A and B are shown apart, each in its own frame.
Chain A
Amino acid sequence: MADHPHRLTPYALSGPALLFYGLLLGVPLLSTLLLSLRAFDAGEATRTGLSLTHYLAILSDPYFHAIFARTFMLSATVALLCVLIGTPEAYILSRMRAPWRSLFLIATLGPFLISVVVRTLGWAVLLGGQGVLSTVLQALGLADGPVSLLYTMPGMIIALVHVLVPFVVISVWVSLQNCDPDVERAGASLGASEAMIFRRLVLPQIVPGIVSGSVIAFSLAATAFATPSIIGGRRLKVVATAVYDAFFGTLDWSTGATLAILLLLANLLIVMSYHRLVDRRHRARHRVPTAALQEVSP
């Protein structure tokens, strides 16, 4: 083999992956974009040029406003709950002893081991009017009649949080692994209580993990399809189910494509500005001026 690999070698090596993604992600994405920009003539359905007609139509329609608002409300709530549940969960997991830690970690990752349809149908069984939740509430005298969380926001939120919490747990876990365990001991030696150690010393160090975990949870919730379509149904449409309906229900492909592109853009915008906001507050302390590295001799 030559001392210097050929200039094209890196491209050749990444070629299969590039081809794979190009064909399966780039091409559909591009055709969706073109579809959304196609001026649609109801009479002929032929290409008559590019226009923003569909975007203007959706952006001015209160029906779609409601769907977008619902989608991002749902995603924000799910992301917030995932953080509130996942962060303490990761902290507790990281402090567990050897055999229990891996057992509970596997249990946390449990939702990933089950097919999305089976898992969601499972929630439908639990949350329905004849379901376990309803029966228990009635037996305890907490409800007068059957209680169904099917086709409700709380039902969707519960099912989505269930599957998205592991993402927050994993990313917070990684942040915790990077923390010096002696920092907590140092805090204790300086007189801090357990609560103060967590709030003042641990939490600020795992903010990057919480941020990336919540970004993943948010964007996966915003684009989730199976859970909203089974638990939310037609009554609580989100953008992903609206896209599906446009493509396969009303056969209005252009509207479906436009919705899909708008969802992608809104998601990108929210995630990027959120990242930038948190990043700016955190970057200052990791900047290393070269002069500081020179020892001030005693």
Chain B
Amino acid sequence: MAFLELLALTRRYAGTVAVHELSLSVERGEFVSLLGPSGCGKTTTLQMIAGFVAPSAGTIRLAGRDLSSVKANARGLGIVFQSYALFPHMTVAENVAFGLETRRIARVERTRRVARTLELVRLDALGDRYPAQLSGGQRQRVALARALVIEPPVLLLDEPLSNLDAKLRDDMQGELRRIQRTVGTTTIMVTHDQAEAMALSDRVAVMHRGRLEQAGAPLEVYEHPATAFVADFLGKTNLIDGQANLGTNGTATLIAAGQRFPMLDRPAADGPVRVSLRPEKIELIPDPTAAPVDSSAITGTVRARTYGGDHWLYDVDTLLGAIRVRCATGTAAEGHRVGLRWHAGDLRIVEKHVHG
């Protein structure tokens, strides 16, 4: 049995469903991210686990024990709030010690554990400061230390890095991963940042409109998106509507805009499908006439290109519609005719029975 289990968890608010029958199992020591756009129900899910919001239906089990009737202050979970919610009238050390005081842990032991945790988050020199005297990154570490010092079975992180600027966020991301690996606490993180979720998590659970769309390892979710939403939300993608045609010898073909493209992904039957093709999987051929004739290739006109430092983004108008291509060099300019080519394995079916 999994360590933390969410079973058909549902939360309804007057007229709307914030979370709909969400089921997710988290193993001990696992780092799972709840990822989705704002309003997808990820924060509500976190608050139900924390005990701040009561589920309308469904169960939460921690190590086999039903948490439904356990109040927030008896769950013993460590929580890092988006605003950090530090106690402004207490020093860093007092903030961290608070959870030990409520557990009536003796002073000597308390001091020892506070010192050890502050060392873990590399704040051992700042124990006497007040939160108002700290920078954003330091406050974030205090919040983390305060949640970890009680040695919680589960650590809940609510958008922990969203209040930091880009450079600091990168540093803290590394810190967060190091600390989580060190203590090995089972962690659930809520985030809307797909790069952050993929960099930190063992598994990513993508949510959309209160439902769990797909849960899996970052590589699996990115390479094999289960739905069009997941494909589009995790990085950028091109979605192509077409007709799937099963071949006799185990192959499949996508028919779109009157052209046939071989596909390794096989649907169960013939019919309309929506296919995802990642921009970085497409090869851009500056001179289409020089390219070998290939059934996996189309031609188009460059409508716009954007320089992104380490890459170029192209918008190419083709018979399949506007196709976005990401490549390392910017050899073709606006208005040029170019060829586009990809591997048959890069076409991923994300929706079957597409109409219209």
Contact = CB atoms under 8 A, between A and B. Distances in A.
Contacts of B137: 295
B175 A298 contact: yes
Interface in B148-174: 150, 168, 171-172, 174
Pick from A190, A201, A284 the residue with the most CB of B within 10 Å.
Answer: A190
A196 B102 CA distance: 9
A297 to B, nearest CB: 7
Interface string B77-108: 11101110111110100000011001100000
Interface in A261-298: 284-289, 292-298
A190 B81 contact: no
B298 to A, nearest CB: 48
B132 A285 contact: yes
B74 A191 contact: yes
Contacts of A251: none
Interface string B46-84: 000011100000000000000000011111111101110
Contacts of A183: 85-88
Contacts of A180: 83, 85
B85 A191 contact: no
B132 A190 contact: no
Interface string A188-228: 11111100100011001100000000000000000000000
Interface residues of chain A: helix, strand, loop or mixed (majority): helix
B102 A192 contact: yes
A182 B85 contact: yes
A293 B150 CA distance: 28
Nearest to A284: B130
B146 interface: yes
B171 A286 contact: no
Interface of A: 180, 182-183, 185-193, 196, 200-201, 204-205, 284-289, 292-298
13 contacts: A180-B83, A182-B81, A183-B87, A186-B79, A188-B71, A189-B78, A190-B73, A191-B76, A192-B98, A204-B89, A285-B89, A292-B138, A298-B122
Interface of B: 50-52, 71-79, 81-83, 85-89, 91, 98-99, 102-103, 122-123, 125-126, 129-130, 132-135, 137-138, 146-147, 150, 168, 171-172, 174-175
